[in-house]
Chains A and B, each alone.
Chain A
Amino acid sequence: MQVAVTPGGRPLAWLLAGLFVAATPSPVSAYTAYVSNERDNTISVVDLDQMKTVKTVPAGQRPRGITITKDGKDILVCASDDDTIQIIDTETLRVVGTLPSGPDPETFALHVSGNPLYVSNEDDNMVTVIDVPARKVIAEIPTGVEPEGVAVSPDGETIVNTSETTNMAHFLDVKTHKMTASVLVGARPRDAMFKHDGSEVWVSSELGGTVSVIDPKKHVVTHKISFDVQGLRGDVIQPVGIQFTSDDATAFVALGPANRVVVIDAKTYKVRKYLLVGQRVWHMAFTPDQKYLLTSNGLSNDISVIDVAGLDVVKSVPVGRLPWGVVVSPK
């Protein structure tokens, strides 16, 4: 998931750019987003110039976690009920292979170098490490009950994995595959995300309603962020997805059935603003230029487009049923 937010910094293909010059008066990007639709067993392909779904591609059963390889060539998607990860070629939009994920893969993160892939097996208390080009399992690391979020530290040395029923963030060493620390957080932790400078890892607790800020060296919670939306009872504020702007100044946290994304000053941990998005918002992804943040809204079957500079929701784009995750191509 870290890969999804890191700007690719690649120049646009001139041909592609030229096409859009002809099509629209002010071309900003030719980015493409891919959304996993848990209920439809499909991937929606969203053109971010037109801000619409241009294609819907069949995927395996119950597609959830979705990411893209560093070169932008392949989409990886957890087909949870098929117990596999599918590789979808972004050119042909066809499934070109599978990865041996172990049972019920829910979500994952690619190592910062682009390989391997760290997969949480929700049903099996295990993190599976997969060599993506070789399509082979390298290791299985025992973890807490119902592993969920996976994050790779920017220095590539540490994996953080949350476990929903154990209520911990587990720190795993990339070289030894050993657990180095476990940090207790709020109830039902979902997402984990490192700041780009590696100084902090944030963990969202869906039922605890909080975000824990963890010092990844000392393995202690240094701060707990809680939320208060006027007119909403506390128990519908259920934090899930976390994203940092590339300068680590601002954090966005998706608040699930509160139907809002909260904007947080990532230095002072103060809430700056609540943005109303679609229903049951879970995961998010930036466009590589960080102009937009996209949110997958499970119950309104759409993605919301947030203007990052203006802190404003500018558009909602219909996708398939129960959109779970979203990723934007670095190309």
Chain B
Amino acid sequence: MPRGRFGRRALITATAGAVMATSASAARAEAAAIDIGYIRWPQERQTISLLDKPPADDGLAGAKLGIDDNNTTGRFIGQQFELTDTVVRAGDDPVTALTTLGQRGITLILTDVPADLLLRLAAAGGAKGVTLFNVSAPDDTLRQHDCRANVIHVAPSRAMLADALAQYLVWKKWSRWVLAYGSHPDDTLLADAYRRAARRFGARIVKELEYKDTGGARQTDSGVVETQQRMPVFTQGLPDYDVLVTADENEVFANYLPFRTWDPRPVTGSAGLRPVSWDPSSESWGGTQLQDRFRRMAHRRMTPLDMQAWTAIRMIGEAASRASSVDSTKIMQYMKGADFGIAAYKGRELSLRDWDWQLRQPILLSDGRTIVSVSPQPGFLHQFTELDTLGFDRPETQCKLQ
């Protein structure tokens, strides 16, 4: 039974409610308040499984819980956190949303937008002292050639996810892979990440398969019959291999593969055993409490995007409490300093890589029911922190922050 009387209210205001928000903060003159922005670009996304349909408030609900948690802490030290959610739809200019937030004095903004929009926002916000928290875009280029000094990456990159899975497969001695990737540009980038991971950790890709997206519906009546015939053929006649690694960010084929491959082989990557920043089944390191708090608030399970948004909000709250200030400059100064760390139910303190502002973090390997393992795996050593065996490490970085 939820009985908590505190920290259950998320202070959410829509951009249209600016007048209300102003009077509300005047009433709380004693607490120093900070408003955090959230720009999202909801896109229709098809999924193979009905169970994977993204909720309408995917990510936003995680941010709301983060605001609640920040405020529970904040009331002990006179800090108050609010969230302003802005939805950008096709045809809208996201830079307008940024300007509107800026007029309200909001300079710390979570973004759930694709890489190209993120770069436009970063350019527009740079002069205004805006810092963006990328909670969704996994593109490695945003951490490499296209890195920006005013973008913090809370979402793990494709390279981090691929490395996390690769370490586990190598630890299992499943080192002969077949790599099956989709025909979308995202899938090509993810396939690149798996090729890099195989090279780094000593796995061998014995065959590559491309699955062309020829369009069509994901679920159809009696579609199961067709899938049952199609998937074995797709995986027929392969050389000896241990495991199928799939790169299918658009849910075209990977989730059809488990139990339907020609040879009996486990499926990993975009289906089967998946590398994720969070899973609603994660219960270690106090995770149960977060899952319970989230379910009480949102009446659904907590997704990876929810976790990434929660973490971004908590990073801001944590830096504000350590810096004893809600001034965004002081918050960012602390967050980018050597002492910053954040706890996020993954057994280790997470911190920022100062060469590309990527949040270093363990990656969970989930089969959709339980957490099978957590990477980095034992034996993958690093002179500073094993978390830097995931993704692009300092010596490999192409990022020049400016």
Which residues of A does B touch, CB under 8 Å?
102-104, 122-126, 140, 142, 144-146, 163-168, 170, 179, 182, 184, 187-188, 207-209, 233-235
Contacts and interface: CB of A to CB of B under 8 A. Distances in A.
Interface in B1-60: 1-7
A144 B341 contact: no
Size class of the B contact interface (CB-based, 8 Å)? 20 to 34
Q: Is chain B's interface secondary structure helix, strand, loop, or mixed overall?
A: helix
A166 B349 contact: no
Contacts of B342: 187
A188 B343 contact: yes
Nearest to B73: A166
Given A146-B289, A167-B73, A207 B321 contact: no
B385 interface: yes
Interface in B273-325: 286, 288-289, 292-293, 314, 318, 321-322
Nearest to B383: A233
Contact of A167 (B1, B5, B292, B318): B318
Interface string B362-402: 00000000000000000000000111000000000000000
Nearest to A80: B288
A254 B7 CA distance: 32
Given A187-B349, A188-B343, 14 more contacts: A104-B289, A104-B292, A123-B288, A124-B3, A126-B3, A144-B72, A165-B69, A165-B314, A166-B72, A168-B73, A187-B343, A207-B341, A207-B343, A235-B385
A145 B385 contact: no
Contacts of A164: 286, 343
Given A164-B343, A168-B73, A182-B77, A142 B3 contact: no
Contact of B385 (A124, A142, A233): A233
Interface in B157-203: none
Given A167-B73, A207-B341, A103 B1 contact: yes
Contacts of B69: 145, 165-166
B289 A167 contact: no
Interface of B: 1-7, 69, 72-73, 76-77, 286, 288-289, 292-293, 314, 318, 321-322, 341-343, 348-349, 385-387
Given A167-B318, A188-B343, A124 B73 contact: no
Nearest to A148: B286
B3 A168 contact: no
B286 A235 contact: no
Given A103-B1, A187-B343, A125 B6 contact: yes
B72 A235 contact: no
Contacts of B76: 144, 166, 168, 170, 179, 182
A124 B349 CA distance: 23
B3 A122 contact: no
A253 to B, nearest CB: 18
Contacts of A170: 76
Contacts of B72: 125, 144-145, 166
B274 to A, nearest CB: 25
Contacts of A126: 3-4
A207 B6 contact: no
A209 B342 CA distance: 12
A187 B348 CA distance: 10
A77 to B, nearest CB: 19
B232 to A, nearest CB: 41
Given A142-B5, A233-B385, A167 B321 contact: yes
Given A122-B289, A124-B3, A184-B322, A207 B77 contact: no
B73 A144 contact: yes
Nearest to B386: A233
A104 B387 CA distance: 32
B343 to A, nearest CB: 5
